[in-house]
């Protein structure tokens, strides 16, 4: 299909369909399929031409289409705790049921896991490999207790990248092409740069970007960083945002951007519409988020040490001081007036530190914030009434601050 005349949203939908259809077709043809975590060194998989599917993406799609409970309840009936990540529960349920109205994916022949996003993925993916009796390649990423990523962590990750290359050679029975690897690295960096440039247009007031679009486009920055399709998509999206910004257009045709907020945490996929529409009703635009920023994975082409550091630097793997400073920088860079913290029952790593980050950021910036309870895919952990009440409280605080600034 010719994509030259498509808008970025049309291209996004086309590429999502192409991605899943390609994986299903590869399985039919007897080609190996990989299941991988969302922020892994996918450049290695691209170099080896391995078809890769991302269970977190798939679980989010199932959640957004309000189908997650079928798989969650199946997993819980099998003995998996309701306290573990709902992405994991959806995925393990799907592994048994093997059909979803939202989207089917083929079962894997290889598991490829990096623990830089959380420690749950270690046991989740080990469990999959054991259940399906297939090989597992694991990147064990130490948590960064220091402000900067320590040199020993970079060396440790580099060693694991080099070992993973040998494991992939053994799995595919072919040699790793280092020249192609350099090209994939170059393309991955360029794609991430366009992602960053596109999302940075939200620094303009009014923002041309409706921040919830980041959650949709994020599907492709997860799975197409290292190929030409992803590069074209994010370049096009950037160009559209640039044109809107230069024309002075805001995020919506039907409403004015009155307030600018950060959304901290993963989207509440089963309730994506109501969380977005409630903000829009009050003129609130989510201009940035800590979560989509995770895919700004950049380093010098050919520099495996730099690549190792980039994957070790994911914000979920950084200490409290770094997280606080990162949030303060987002407040300043994006002219933020409020913060919405999604206390996501599924994601303990992100959420256990939210209240301390909230306290520190409030002290440093004076920007008001609210916390609401929810979950990335389990629909049972969200209350629309509570959410709207919290947003109303945030509006009152932001308006009070605006009035104080007007009075000088």
- Tens of pLDDT, residue by residue over 27-65, are 999 999 999 999 999 999 999 999 999 999 999 999 999
Indicate if 160 and 262 belong to the same structural domain. Answer: no
Residue-level pLDDT at 2: 62
- Tell me, yes or no, whether 243 lies in a domain: no
375 lies in the same domain as 252: yes
Per-residue pLDDT, 347: 87
| Residue 228 falls inside a structural domain | no
Residues in CB range of 153: below 8 A, 6 or more apart: 141, 142, 144, 312
Q: Give how far the C-alpha of residue 326 lies from the chain's centroid of Cα atoms, to the nearest Å.
A: 17
CATH number of domain containing 336: 3.40.50.11900
pLDDT at 4 over 80: no
Q: Are residues 275 and 138 in the same domain?
A: no
pLDDT at 350 exceeding the cut of 90: no
Q: Cα dihedral sign for 387, 393, 394, 395?
A: positive
My answer on whether 27 and 132 are in the same domain is: yes
187 inside domain: no
> Is 132 found in the same domain as 273?
no
- Tell whether 41 and 126 lie within a shared domain: yes
Question: 55-64, 215-224, 360-369: lowest mean pLDDT where?
Answer: 215-224
- Looking at residue 1, its pLDDT comes to 59
Structure tokens at 270: 């089963």
CATH number assigned to the domain comprising residue 167? 3.40.50.11890
- Residue 332 is predicted with a pLDDT of 97
Is pLDDT above 80 for 3?
no
* Residue 298 included in any domain: yes
Average pLDDT, the chain: 95
**For residue 331, is pLDDT > 80?**
yes
* 289's tokens: 């988020």
What band does 201 get if pLDDT is binned at 50, 70 and 90?
very high
Calculate the CA 170 to chain-centre distance. Answer: 30
Strand 284-289 to 259-264 pairing? parallel
Q: What is the rounded average pLDDT of the residues 59-74?
A: 97
pTM exceeds 0.85, yes or no: yes
Question: Taking Cα atoms as reference points, which of 7, 52, 61 lies closest to residue 227?
Answer: 52
Residue 171 shares a structural domain with residue 266: no
pLDDT over threshold 80, residue 408: no
In a domain, 19, yes or no: yes
Q: Are residues 265 and 359 in the same domain?
A: yes
Q: What is the pLDDT of residue 290?
A: 87
Grouping H, G, I as helix, E, B as strand and the rest as coil, residue 257 is coil
pLDDT at residue 270, rounded to an integer? 97
Mean pLDDT of 177-206: 96
Residue 44: inside a domain: yes
DSSP string covering 270-330: GGHHHHHHHHHHTTEEEEEETTGGGG-----TT-HHHHHHHHHT-GGGS-HHHHHHHHHHH
Asked if pLDDT for residue 80 goes beyond 90, the answer is: yes
The predicted pLDDT at position 352 comes to 84
Q: What are φ and ψ of residue 107, in 5° steps?
A: -70, 150
pLDDT tens, position by position, 257-268: 999 999 999 999
pLDDT band for 132, please (50, 70, 90 cuts): very high
Q: pLDDT tier at 292 (50, 70, 90 boundaries)? A: confident
- Structural domain boundaries enclosing 108: 8-175
| Residue 223 is assigned to a structural domain of this protein | no
Same domain for 253 and 156, yes or no, is: no
Domain count, the chain: 2
Q: Rg of the chain's alpha carbons, rounded to an integer?
A: 21
* Residue 17 domain-assigned (yes or no): yes
pLDDT-based confidence at 23, cuts 50/70/90?
very high
pLDDT band per the 50, 70, 90 thresholds, residue 98: very high
Is the pLDDT score of 252 beyond 80? yes
- Given a cut of 90, is residue 407 above it in pLDDT? no
User: Is pLDDT of 296 > 90?
Assistant: no
- The DSSP code sequence of 151-207 is HHHHHHHHHHHHHHHHHHHHHHTS---HHHHHHHHHHHHHHHHHHHHHHHGGGSSS-
Residues 261, 288: Cα–Cα separation, whole Å: 7
Integer Cα distance of 143 and 197 in angstroms: 28
Angle ∠(170,171,174) on CA atoms, nearest 5: 65
- pLDDT score recorded for residue 315: 87
CB-CB contact of 144 with 318 (8 Å): yes
**pLDDT cut 90: percent of the chain above it:** 90
């Amino acid at each position: 299909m010719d994509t030259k005349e498509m808008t970025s949203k049309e291209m996004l939908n086309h590429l999502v369909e192409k991605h899943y259809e390609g994986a299903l077709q590869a399985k039919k043809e007897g080609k190996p399929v990989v299941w991988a975590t969302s922020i892994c060194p996918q450049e290695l998989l691209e170099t080896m031409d391995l078809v890769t599917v991302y269970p977190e993406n798939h679980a989010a799609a199932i959640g957004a289409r309000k189908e997650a409970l079928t798989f969650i309840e199946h997993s819980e009936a099998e003995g998996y705790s309701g306290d573990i990540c709902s992405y994991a529960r959806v995925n393990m349920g799907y592994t048994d049921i093997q059909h979803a109205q939202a989207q089917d994916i083929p079962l894997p022949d290889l598991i490829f896991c990096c623990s830089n996003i959380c420690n749950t993925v270690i046991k989740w993916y080990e469990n999959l490999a054991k259940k399906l009796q297939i090989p597992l390649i694991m990147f064990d990423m130490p948590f960064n207790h220091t402000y900067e990523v320590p040199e020993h962590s970079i060396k440790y990750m580099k060693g694991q990248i080099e070992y993973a290359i040998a494991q992939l050679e053994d799995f595919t029975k072919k040699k790793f092409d280092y020249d192609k690897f350099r090209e994939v690295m170059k393309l991955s960096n360029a794609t991430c740069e366009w992602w960053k440039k596109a999302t940075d247009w939200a620094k303009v007031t009014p923002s041309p970007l409706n921040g919830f679009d980041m959650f949709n486009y994020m599907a492709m920055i997860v799975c197409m960083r290292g190929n030409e399709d992803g590069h074209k998509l994010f370049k096009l999206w950037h160009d559209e945002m640039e044109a809107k910004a230069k024309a002075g257009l805001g995020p919506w045709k039907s409403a004015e951007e009155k307030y600018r907020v950060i959304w901290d945490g993963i989207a509440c996929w089963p309730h994506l519409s109501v969380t977005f529409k409630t903000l829009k009703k009050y003129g609130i635009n989510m201009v940035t988020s800590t979560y989509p920023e995770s895919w700004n994975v950049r380093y010098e082409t050919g520099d495996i040490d730099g690549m190792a550091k980039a994957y070790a630097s994911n914000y979920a793997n950084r200490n409290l001081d770094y997280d606080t400073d990162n949030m303060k920088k987002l407040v300043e860079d994006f002219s933020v007036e409020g913060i919405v913290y999604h206390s996501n029952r599924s994601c303990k790593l992100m959420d256990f530190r939210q209240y301390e980050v909230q306290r520190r950021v409030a002290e440093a910036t004076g920007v008001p914030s609210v916390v609401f309870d929810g979950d990335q895919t389990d629909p049972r952990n969200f209350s629309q009434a509570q959410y709207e009440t919290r947003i109303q409280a945030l509006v009152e605080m932001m308006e009070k601050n605006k009035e104080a600034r007007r009075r000088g």
